[in-house]
Amino acid sequence: MSLKGKTAIITGSNSGIGLGVARELARAGADVVLNSFTDRDEDHALAQEIAAEFRVAARYIRADMSRADQCRALIEQAGACDILVNNAGIQHVCPIDEFPIDKWDAIIAINLTSAFHTTAVALPMMRKTGWGRIVNIASAHGLTASPYKSAYVAAKHGIVGLSKTTALETAGQGITCNAICPGYVLTPLVEAQIPDTMKKYDMDRDEVIRKVMLERQPSKEFATVEQLGGTAVFLCSDAAAQITGTTISVDGGWTAL
């Protein structure tokens, strides 16, 4: 499968799943645009490393996905968008009656509304070339719920719905839109929670992973960023040309329970 000549924009891709997806798309030959809200040397260095390793064009564009104007400017500044991966996301865990309003607003803006804005600007570009792939990184929480994650679960269910509507509005135009629903993935964000959880429950690392983190993931194994990147590459392939408006779970069986 070669994605040579295609430009992929991946939001929130200076770490974790977004970076993993960007690397796998580049491995498949796509030129990539990395993004986050920071503008550090190491952000730009990530793009240079990908360019050197996979011999593709790669650059980093700063844009804050909580801001409508910056979401739209990201796509415009990239200049081309054959593949759009809406991945940027944050989390906050708190009961509904105590949930801070600013956290609710930020989660809905970054995890859901940003995808509306980027999609709106990318679609006319994709229609011009008659080819496009939109991959929304949802979550097992786009299909099922957990307590204390109201904003996250609402945003992730929302992005599954947005994916279906986008698919219907682009059907028959060479464009597909789907949502990937990961279970627990061992990103730097998740890794950083392990030491505190070990202390909190007086458990060793293995117990924390199996009994706390992967409690709802029957495989008792994390999904990896490479597996998620591979799933995104598959959705960009010709084999997936008729897969649109659906979800693909990469969750070790979580949503089969």
Instruction: Please give the residue ranges that form the binding site for ligand NAD (CB under 6 A).
Output: 12-18, 36-37, 64-66, 87-90, 110-111, 137, 139, 182, 184-185, 187-190
From the CB of 173, what's the least distance to ligand NAD, in Å?
26
Checking phi first, is residue 204 left (phi over 0); if not, alpha (psi -120 to 50) or beta?
A: beta
From the CB of 124, what's the least distance to ligand NAD, in Å?
23
**Residues in contact with 114: Cβ distance below 8 Å, sequence separation at least 6, in sequence order:** 11, 65, 66, 71, 86, 88
CB 249 within 8 A of CB 41: no
Half-sphere exposure of 146 (CA within 13 A, CB side): 18
Nearer to ligand NAD, 58 or 110 (CB): 110
Burial of 15 (0-12, 13-18, 19+ CB in 10 A): middle
From the CB of 37, what's the least distance to ligand NAD, in Å?
4
Nearer to ligand NAD, 53 or 105 (CB): 105
Run of H or E residues at 62: strand 58-62
> What is the distance, to the nearest Å, from the Cα of residue 35 to the centroid of all Cα atoms in its chain?
12
Q: Which residue has the tokens 């991966």?
A: 85
Nearer to ligand NAD, 174 or 196 (CB): 196
From the CB of 203, what's the least distance to ligand NAD, in Å?
19
Nearer to ligand NAD, 144 or 241 (CB): 144
The residue among 10, 191, 153 whose CA lies nearest residue 83 is: 10
Catalytic residue chosen out of the listed positions 148, 152, 184, 201: 152
148 is catalytic: no
Sign of the dihedral defined by the CA atoms of residues 107, 43, 81, 74, in that order: positive
Q: Cβ of 51: how many Cβ atoms within 10 Å?
A: 16
From the CB of 83, what's the least distance to ligand NAD, in Å?
16
Nearer to ligand NAD, 120 or 241 (CB): 120
As annotated, the active-site residues are: 152
